[in-house]
A and B are shown apart, each in its own frame.
Chain A
Amino acid sequence: MKKKDLPRLETGIQNFDALLGGGLPKRSVTVLSGPPGAGKTILTQQLCFSNAQKGKRVLFFSTLSEPTAKTLLHLQQFDFFDPKLFGKGVEFVDLGDLLREHGLTAAADMIMKHVRQSKPDIVVIDSFKVFDDLATSREDHRKFGYELAVNLMAWETTALLLGEYGVADYETNAFFSIVDGVIALSQREALGEQQRFIRVVKMRGTNHSREEHPFLIDVTGVHVFAPRLAITREAHDATTSRCKTGVDKLDELLGPGIPWGSSLLIGGVAGTGKTVLSLEFIYRGAQAGEKGILFSFEETEDRLRAAARGLGWDLDRQIARGMIEIVFIPQPDITVEAHLLMIQERIKKLGAKRVVIDSVSVFLHKITDPQLSREKVFHLCSIVHNANAVGFFPTDIPYGSKQVSRFGVEETVVDGVIILSSTEEGLDRERYIEVYKLRNTAHLKGRHNLEIGEGGITVFPRYAYDGHEPPMPPLELGKRLGSGVAGLDPLISGGLLRRSATLVSGSAGVGKTLMGLQFLLEGVNERQAGLYVTLEESAAQLIASAKALGLPLAKAVADGKMEIMYISREYVRAGQFLTVLADKLTAMKAQRVVLDATTQMLTERMTLEELRHVLYKLVNRFKSLGITSMLTLEAPSLLSKEHVTEVGLSPIADNLFMLRYATNGVGLAPTITIVKTRGARHDRHTHVLHIRRGGMRVETSEAPNARELG
C-alpha cells in the first residue's frame, strides 16, 4: 500500500510549521507545556484565530486558570484577534464552575457535549493541568485522559492541551504516553538577553525538529525562529551570467565577474572603506537596474544618504525609485535568529539582486562561539544564494591580526573574500584592495591601490599575466621606429623595434630628457601620438627648454599630437601608476611613451624591488598596447662607470643606452654607449653626443677616450 502522509493542520505561526514537519498532525492530541508566562495561551490563540480565518471551527475550553474574561481582554491587543470570529469561528467555553462543583467526569461530558454540537476542527483545553490536580488518583487521571483523547480523536479534532508541565512530568506522568505530541515552551537568559524558546519534545508520525528554537511575541503574535529549518539552501540551475559590480575598475580585479548567488566577505579594520565599497556596490547596481538592499547596524539611513551625497551619488533618487532599500537595525536591538529571517523576507520582498550586511561582525557581535558564528554566516550565504543575488558582508578584522575575518572561520563559508587595508607610507596612508578568494573565478591576485574620493571608489589594478590580458606580443622585427636623434639609428640597425622598451641611463644634465623629447617629436613627424610622463620638470619647463633648442614641442602639444603629463614624485603611487598611464595611453591612442625619470619613483614609499616590479608591469602593459617606450634612469654620479645592470633593471628593457660624461681634454662631453639591443646587432663603441640648436645628435666617430670608458 502506498504510504500516506499525515494530513496536517497549519498553525499560521511563522516557522512553527517547519519545526513540525508541515504542521500539527490532524486529529492529534498535543500537550503544550511550559511555566506561567511562557506564551502557551498566546501561541494557541494565534493558532486558533489563524485557522478560524480559514473557516475552521475552534472550541476553546478554559478551566481553572486564567478566567475567560481576562483571556478575551488580553487577546484584543494582538493583531491576529478578529472580533468577528469570536463566538463563530472560535467558541469559548468556561468549564471553571462545572469543574469546581462536579469534577472531572462532568467536565469531560461537557466537553464532549460541545464537541458533538460544534464538530470543531480544533479543541483547546487551557489549562489541562487542572485535571491532574482534581483527579483522585493517577489511575483516574490516566483513564480520564485516555478516554478524552479517544473521544476527541473519534470526532477527528486536533486537540491542544495546555499545562504548566515540566520535564519531570514528561518522564513520569503516564498521561504523556497517551498524547501524540508534546511541545515545550520556556524562557531563560541567552546571549545576554531573556529569550523564549520552543522545543518539540514529541510528535507522533512526524520527523520533527528536536532542537530548541527561540521565539518572540509581539503585537502581531508569535514568531518562531528556526533558521536551520527555515533557511535551507535551494538548488539552482547553473548559470553562466555573473554580476559586474560597476565600481570603477573593481571588475577588472574580479575577472569575469561574481557568480550570482555568491556572498563575499569584505574584510578590513575600521576606516578601510568597507561601508563605502558596499554602499557603492548597491548604488551602482541600482544604476544598472539591479535592486539592492543594505542592512545597517551602525549607520542610520540618514547618515548613509549623507555619505552618498558627499561622494556625489544620487542615492536618494534610487531609494525614491524603489531600487534601493536601507534597513537600519540599531545594534542593541539585534536578535540574530529573528533578523536572519527578517533579512530573508526583505530580500525576497524587494527582489534584491544585491545585498549588503553592514557589518556582519556587528550583526553577530553577541555570538562568541566561532562555530556558531560560522553557522550564522552560512545562513546569510544561503539567503543570498536562494535569492540568486550577490552579497557583500563587511566584517571588522581585529587590528594587527592576520585574519581575514573576525573569527577567522567565516571565510570558509563564503564564496569570496575581499580584503581592504591601509598602510602608512612615509607621511601618507595608502588604501589597498585585494581579492583574497573568489570561487570559480579567475581573478587578479595581490594588493591593488584604492582611492576614495569624489565619485566614489577607484581601484588601480596592477595588471598581471594571469589570463586577463593578452599575452605580450613579440617584438616586430620588421618595424623600426626612428629615435629622432641624428646618428643614433645607424648604431642600432636602423631604429628602435616597435613595442620595444628602451632604458636610457645617465647622470643629471647629460641629455636623457632631450633624447626622450626627440623620440616623441620624431613620432609626431611620423603621425604617431606620444605621451611624455615627467616626474621632474614641469610641462612649461620642458617646452621652454625645447624652444631654446629650436624643437617644435610647443606646437606638437598645441596641435594635440603629443601630451605632457606631469606627476610630482611626492604623489607617485606605484599601485596607481600603471592604471593611470594605461588609461591615458589607450585614450589618446599613443604609439610612443617616455617616462622621465623612472628613478624619481624611488621614494620612501617604494623600494628598488617594488620599482623593478612596477617597471616590469609597465613595460609589459606598454607592449601589449603596441606602444614603444623609453624610460630614463638617473645615474648617481657624472662620471660613474657603474653599470646600469647593477640596479637590476636591464632585464626589463630590450635596449639599454648608457649616457655618460667623458673628459675630452677640454672639459666634459656627453657620450652614449649602446649597451644592449634586442633583435639586432649594434655598435658597441662609445660616441660623443652633440647638443646644440636643432637638438641632440650622435657623433658617429668613436669618442677619443672610449677605451677608457669602455
Chain B
Amino acid sequence: MGDNGGHAAFVDAWLAKRAQKLGADDLLALFDVANRALWARARSTLGEVTLMAIAERVLFIAAEKHPFLSVLTADATEGYRCAHLASQADTMKSEDLVRGLRFVLVEHLSVIGNLTAEILTTELHAELQLVGVARRPAPKGRNEKGRKRRA
C-alpha cells in the first residue's frame, strides 16, 4: 500500500508519544480509542458501506502480515473490534502487538487516503493527535463499549 500521506511517520510519532512503555492492556485500550475516533470521523463522510469495505481489506492484509491479527473484526458503527485479541495479549510480546496495531492504523489511514486523494488526511491526523493526550490507566473490562475517547 502506497503511503502518500505520510501516515506511517505520523502514526509512529503518535505511538512514540502516547504508547511508550504501555502494557498490552493499555495499548489495546489506546488503539480502541484511536480506532473509534478515526472511524467516527470518516463514517460521516464516507459511509458505513465504504468503511466496512475498507476495513475488510485492511483486516485481510493485516492477517496476512501478522497472523495474530486475524482475530480482529470490524463493526459498521464502531470500526475495528479487538476483544478477541485482548484475550491473547498477555501471551504476546509487546513489540509484536505494537507492530500489529500500528500496521492496522497505518493501513487504514493509507487506504482512506488513497481513495480520497488524501482529502481527509489532515482531519484524521488531527483526530488521532487528540487521542491519549491525558492518558489514564485503562479501566477494568478491556475494550468496553462507551470508553471515553480522550482517556
Contacts and interface: CB of A to CB of B under 8 A. Distances in A.
A150 B49 CA distance: 7
15 contacts: A1-B119, A4-B117, A4-B118, A112-B56, A116-B57, A146-B49, A151-B53, A151-B56, A153-B115, A154-B50, A154-B53, A154-B54, A154-B56, A156-B114, A156-B115
A595 to B, nearest CB: 84
Given A154-B54, A154-B57, A27 B49 contact: no
Contact of B111 (A112, A116, A154): A154
A28 to B, nearest CB: 11
Nearest to A5: B117
Interface string A86-113: 0000000000000000000000000010
Interface of B: 49-50, 53-54, 56-57, 60, 111, 114-115, 117-119
Contact of A150 (B53, B111, B117): B53
Contacts of B111: 154, 156
A465 interface: no
Contacts of B114: 27, 156
Nearest to A153: B115
A302 interface: no
A470 B117 CA distance: 69
Contacts of B50: 150, 153-154
A146 B47 CA distance: 12
Lowest 3 A-B CB distances belong to which pairs? A154-B53, A151-B53, A154-B54
A27 B113 CA distance: 13
Contacts of A4: 117-118
Contacts of A314: none
Interface in A97-148: 112, 116, 146-147
A566 interface: no
B53 A116 contact: no
Nearest to A116: B60
A154 B114 CA distance: 9
B65 to A, nearest CB: 13
A153 B53 contact: yes
B117 A155 contact: no
A27 B117 CA distance: 12
A146 B49 CA distance: 9
Interface string A1-14: 10010100000000
B115 A154 contact: yes
A155 B53 CA distance: 8
Nearest to B1: A156
Contacts of B60: 116
Contacts of A151: 53, 56
A662 to B, nearest CB: 107
Most chain A beta-carbon neighbours within 10 Å: one of B50, B53, B60, B114:
B53
A210 B138 CA distance: 60
B57 A155 contact: yes
Contacts of B119: 1
B53 A27 contact: no
Nearest to A148: B53
A146 B54 CA distance: 14
A4 B119 CA distance: 10
Contacts of A150: 49-50, 53
Contacts of A154: 50, 53-54, 56-57, 111, 115
A143 to B, nearest CB: 9
B132 to A, nearest CB: 28
Contacts of A156: 111, 114-115
A228 B138 CA distance: 66
Contacts of A1: 119
Interface in A141-177: 146-147, 150-151, 153-156
Given A154-B54, A156-B111, 9 more contacts: A6-B117, A112-B56, A146-B49, A147-B49, A147-B53, A153-B50, A154-B57, A155-B57, A156-B115
Nearest to A3: B117
A7 B49 CA distance: 24
A28 B56 CA distance: 19
Nearest to A156: B114
Contacts of A155: 53, 57
A151 B57 CA distance: 9
Nearest to A151: B53
B120 to A, nearest CB: 12
A52 B50 CA distance: 28
Contacts of B118: 4
B107 to A, nearest CB: 12
Contacts of A153: 50, 53, 115
A153 B114 CA distance: 10
A138 B119 CA distance: 33
A47 B60 CA distance: 28
Nearest to A147: B49
A112 B59 CA distance: 14
A296 to B, nearest CB: 52
A156 B53 CA distance: 11
Interface string A24-46: 00010000000000000000000
A6 B49 CA distance: 23
